[in-house]
Amino acid sequence: MWDQSATVRAILVFVSPAATLVEALEPLRSEPARAAVLLDIDGTLAPIVRHAADAHVPEATRALLIEIAKRYGVVGCVSGRRATTARQIVAIGTIAYVGNHGGELLRPGTTRPELDPEVAAWTERVRQFAARAYTAEHQRIRVRSEDKDAIAAFHWRGAPDEAAAAAAVGEIARRALQEGLAVHWGRKVLEVRPPVDLDKGLGIAALLRGQSVATALYVGDDTTDLDAFRGLRSLVKAGALTTAICAAVSSDEAPPELAAEADLLIDGTGGVRGLLEALL
């Protein structure tokens, strides 16, 4: 049985201060078969780590997500990572994964993601750019590159001189824009992307299309999660959903605009576990 008082303490802000956590989640809890539970991974399910490859979802969180997948109509993780990498980190094959910020969709029980063809067409050009832009000097100052198919990421978290590393990555961004590519900044990471519509909101719309879902919850911690918030609210406006609940995970690095647009503000990854408990 979950500890309601502990869970409520994990929530910092409600849209209505008088609301309880259970009341806030009642649109999902009342009809779970017609509800979607959607979560970011890094900084939400998994604590932020210095090296992205070291990320993992704590077993206590994973166990809760397994139980939620048995009860709710749609459960999925929405990530900037490749969909297959996201599934390796979460290690649950019975839920969906939206990868590469909406460019990939890995449905439950399948092994190969569905790719957005417009995004996939840019894969080789992005890879060629990354190969030219990432130099021995970047390696020396500990900027790390990550190949995500149609997206190239450059991380500087934990570099000996993070300011110098960030400046070097800024030069990569400038070159990418000059070559007609798109850039997106995250928490100590730059992503070079195809210049096409690509965001978590579009990926969520693709996942929910054709599903018998009336309500949806999204939980995230970074700038890219704003697209998920806005995407869900667009589905409500269009009549595809009746209710959308958007939860922001607080941290020292969380962008202030995320909290400003959220319905709920959650206290770190521990608070996310409390939220998952409340859904059960």
Active site residues: 40
Tokens, residue 276:
């998952």
Q: Where are the beta strands (DSSP E) in the chain?
A: 11-14, 35-39, 74-78, 96-99, 104-106, 114-115, 144-148, 151-155, 182-186, 189-193, 215-220, 243-250, 264-267
Q: Distance between CA 14 and CA 187 in Å, rounded? A: 25
Concatenated DSSP letters for 9-72?
A: HHEEEESSTT--HHHHTHHHHTSGGGEEEEE-SBTTTB---SSGGG----HHHHHHHHHHHHHS
Q: Distance between CA 36 and CA 110 in Å, rounded? A: 19
Q: Distance between CA 278 and CA 280 in Å, rounded? A: 5
Q: Distance between CA 37 and CA 58 in Å, rounded? A: 18
Q: Distance between CA 91 and CA 70 in Å, rounded? A: 15
Q: Distance between CA 178 and CA 16 in Å, rounded? A: 46
Tokens, residue 46:
């998994």
